[in-house]
Structure 1
Amino acid sequence: MNVTAADVMEAVRSGPGGPRIGAFFDLDGTLVRGYTVAALYQDRIRRCQAGPAELARVLLAAVDGMARDGDPEAIGRAGLATLRGMRADEVAAIGQRVFAERIAGAIRPEARDLVRAHLRRGHTVAVASSATRPQIEPLARDLGIPHIICTELEQSDGVYTGRGTTDLVCGERKAAAVRAFARGARINLRQSFGYANGAEDLAFLTSVGRPYPLNPHPALTEAAAERDWPVLTLREPKSPTLWAGLGTLGALTGVNVALGVGMAYGLLSGDRRRGMNLGIELAVDTGLALAGVKLNVTGAEHIDRARPAVFVANHQSTLDVLVLGALLRHDFTAVAKREARFDPRMLVIGTILNPAWIDRANLANAKHTLEQAVDRLRGGTSILVLPEGTRMPTPRLGRFKKGAFHLAMQAGVPIVPIVLRNTGELAWRRSLLVHPGTVDVAVLDPIPTTGWTVDELDKRIAELRDRFADTLANWPVSGG
């Protein structure tokens, strides 16, 4: 029997809640497509940190592990050996960096939804994997998973020895580790959920009352059929395609041509503002159409309710610029970091929008730039600010900086929050391609800033960030 993510989430919602119900997720091939260890090795190769002998050992272990009758633990042992002599804090930093640069883009979007469904029901959620803690922790933090059952690494004075404190947590040992964790946490395994993709996890899945082979390998698919287990198929992260490449190329060309038309109109007519608005409208409509991207917007009426305003949005993708431009359309500019001024992709956009370029390294210049932005707000031009300051690797929100809030307070204009749900799925932050699809957008009620004080600014920022987080977790019904 095949089931969807929606089917399983409904079973989670309608079933018993509370911490005595467990939800155990395998890592590689389950929460993420592919193998996290491959991302770590790609990083080592790119940085010339892996020699020929090490690469040969790892490749042989990988081939052995993928063979039907091979040794799935071979790659794990090879991975442990590469850590010999490395400091624990260094490995943790590498794990965080590789997660942001590579692994984050491989998380299955519906896996995130599934984890969230279990957390909402108060279940005890854990990653159960033969991987090591430095591999798992960045992803677990991002998904909000509080517990990790894994292969723990042996240390001596903060340096890894290249061995585990136990054997690899794989196969029967993984099942035993899950059972031991369940006993300690007083979890009812008969009512608990398990998710995994490989035949090596058969014992683990048999340990729980609600096993779900997830995007399973053929051997596990056969075992699931024999046991009448429901097979869960989640959609994969976007992969490069010819259509996406052509669409992205067409969108880039269309955007620049349209902006050029707007610039030319402004010069010929002597009305720079009208030319800017024309260029923006043509560019965003053309770019989104050629990329095959549509918008599904809730709360669109709030966009023009309180202009001029400071519009703030979460940021995960280069696609955000087109989406936000399509919403705002006219009489706006942006605040951007000074380094982006020299990005070739920003040359034409920068000329049209004339953003307020902030030099974070020079406090006096930054203050002067913000004063100019306040003057533009008072003159009727809205300003777009991305308060996280950089593209985030996943939908998880970053820290909100204060600049947008100071601007709104000083100019006496409202803040209008714009929540983008899935631009990162269509164009991940480290991808050069935009994939066709629909972007979900929620525009929230304008927030007046009258009466705000500097002393309460941290509280106001935290409240707004919480509103973003709540909207992402409990998406509103779309207005179409």
Structure 2
Amino acid sequence: MEFWPWLTAALLLLLLVVQLSRSARFCAKITLYCAVCLWASTVAAVICLLRHHGRTVENMRIIRWFVSKFKYIFGLRFEIKGLQKLEVDHPCVIISNHQSILDMMGGCQALSPTPPAWCPWPPAGLMEALPERCVQIAKRELIFLGPVGLIMYLGGIFFINRQHSKTAMTVMADVGKRMVRENLKVWIYPEGTRNDNGDLLPFKKGAFYLAIQTQVPIIPVIYSSFSSFYNPKTKLFSSGTIKVEVLDAIPTSGLTVADVPKLMDTCYQAMRTTFLRISKTPQENGATAGPGCQPAQ
């Protein structure tokens, strides 16, 4: 009988700490975020197996339904401009910036000072704009993350070993063949990793090689900065609005591998200009940074 008063007192104390401490609120929200991800992965995987009996891009519809509900739990709103540009009936490469766990569902080490770099769930923001027959490319380690890895596999996501360039190139070549054969859209983050520094990182070349080798257009998608409502360094995690803008498709027909640097620079400059504009971040002296040269991923 004495258990319940102690439990009630502990819960009240926890609620008080969460209300008074910004760090406690941040940890509580991240913990809830991770718990919801794991629960949704498990339930979605069961539904995918029952409905489609295995791995297929059609399972992305089920995953999209689950992930699209996360915004209500965490008070996120999306304002999307140009969504119709993604509604094409042919293969293409979609590229976008990648900032935090708000656009990638996951983060097991929720109480660590900075959320981990791996990104198990398809992006929440991506799900707001995800067109039909669209899959991602992810690092191979994610497939071993229990129900999270299972739901990624069932959704048709391509896994690459980023530590072995020859293996990664083989997978990318297979991706190119399949996207043309199966009429797939492939969503890639050309920065190669999460980035919350208020600007874009230099792009890696993999997405641009893929687009040119398959002669499919590139469609840039830009998400505004999350810094006004999500910042792990300051333990900020509140409700907020994410602006998303889809740019016009950039054709690659007739281009060759020699055109990769110019294509990469064109996409980088267009995306960076849009990112700074919709994030209301002023460009210093009107200068823009170049993408630099990095190995293909």
Gap change, CA 1:429 and 1:319, over 3 Å in 2: same
**2:43 aligns to what?**
261
Q: CA deviation at 1:317?
A: 1.0
2:135 paired residue number: 333
Map of 1:351 onto structure 2: 153
Partner residue in 1 for 2:268: 465
Instruction: Indicate which of 236, 254, 260 corresponds to 1:451.
Output: 254
Alignment of 1:428-443 (within 5 A): 428=231, 434-443=237-246
Of 200, 214, 222, the match for 1:419: 222
Partner of 2:162: 360
SS at match of 1:450: coil
Residues 369-388 of structure 1: per-residue CA shift (max 9 Å, x gap): 10121123111221111001
Structure 2: unaligned runs, 5 residues or longer: 1-20, 104-122, 281-297
Establish whether residue 315 from structure 1 lines up as the match of residue 118 from structure 2: no
Which residue identity is paired with 2:239?
Answer: P
Residue 244 to residue 362, structure 1, CA distance change in 2 (3 Å): closer
Aligned to 2:295: none
In structure 1, the gaps of 5 or more residues are 1-238
Task: Supply the AA of the counterpart residue of 2:254.
Answer: G
What residue identity is the alignment partner of 1:314?
Answer: N
Q: Do the aligned partners of residues 345 and 270 (structure 1) sit closer, same or farther apart at CA in structure 2, a change above 3 Å counting?
A: closer
SS in 1 for 2:220: strand
Q: Kindly report which structure 2 residues correspond to 1:155-304, keeping only aligned pairs within 5 A, or say none.
A: 240=22, 245-272=27-54, 273=56, 276-304=59-87
1:391 aligns with 2:194: yes
Structure 1: distance between partners of 2:174 and 2:232: 30
Please tell me whether Structure 1 or Structure 2 has the larger radius of gyration of its CA atoms.
1
Rate the CA distance shift 1:345–1:460 in 2: closer, same or farther, 3 A: farther
Q: Does 1:372 align with 2:174?
A: yes
State the distance in 2 between where 1:430 and 1:380 align. 41
Corresponding letter in the other structure for 1:377 = M
The residue identity in structure 1 corresponding to 2:172 is: L
Query: Equivalent residue of 1:423, what SS?
Result: coil
- d(CA) in 2 for partners of 1:316, 1:335: 16
SS in 2 for 1:394: coil
Q: Output one character per residue of 1:254-304: Cα deviation in whole Å (capped at 9) or x when no partner.
A: 444334333222322335437622432222212221111110111111121
Cα distance change on mapping 1:457 and 1:394 into 2, 3 Å: same
Query: Can you list the C-alpha shifts for 1:110-145, whole angstroms capped at 9, x where unaligned?
Result: xxxxxxxxxxxxxxxxxxxxxxxxxxxxxxxxxxxx
What amino acid is aligned across from residue 130 of structure 2 in structure 1?
L
Secondary structure (helix, strand or coil) at the match of 2:87 reads coil
Q: CA deviation at 1:437?
A: 0.8
Secondary structure of the structure 1 residue equivalent to 2:219: strand
1:283–1:347 Cα change, 3 Å: same
- Partners of 1:359 and 1:366 within 8 A in 2: yes
- The count of aligned residue pairs is 239
DSSP 3-state at the match of 1:276? helix
The Cα shift of 1:438 comes to 0.7
- 8 Å Cα contact 1:277/1:329 also seen in 2: no
Counterpart AA for 2:83: A
Q: Secondary structure at the match of 2:69?
A: helix
Deviation (angstroms), 1:359: 2.2
Match of 1:81 in 2: none
Q: Are residues 271 and 331 of structure 1, via their aligned partners in 2, closer, same or farther at CA, if it must alter by over 3 Å? A: farther
Q: CA deviation at 1:244?
A: 5.3
Identical pairs, percent: 26
- How far the C-alpha of 1:248 sits from its partner, in A, is 4.2
TM-score normalized by the length of structure 1: 0.45
Alignment partner of 2:77: what SS?
A: strand
Could you tell me how far apart the structure 2 residues matched to 1:407 and 1:312 are? 12
* Alignment partners' CA distance in 2, 1:380 and 1:274: 11
- SS state at 1:474 partner: helix
Question: 1:316 deviation in Å?
Answer: 1.5
| Equivalent residue number for residue 216 of structure 1 | none
Cα distance in 2, alignment partners of residues 264 and 289 from structure 1? 23
Check the 8 A contact 2:57/2:155 in 1, yes or no. Answer: no
Conserved 8 A contact 1:391-1:429: no
Q: Deviations over 1:407-442 (max 9, x none)?
A: 112223211101111234443466887431111111
Matched residue SS, 1:261: helix
Q: Distance in 2 between matches of 1:358 and 1:290?
A: 32
AA at the equivalent of 2:49: L
> Aligned AA for 2:86?
I
Output the amino acid matched with 2:44.
G
Conserved? CA contact 1:420–1:439, under 8 Å: yes
- Aligned 8 A contact 1:358 1:366 in 2: yes
Residue range with higher mean Cα deviation, 262-271 or 411-420: 262-271
CA gap 1:410/1:304 in 2 versus in 1, 3 angstroms: same
Partner SS for 2:192: coil
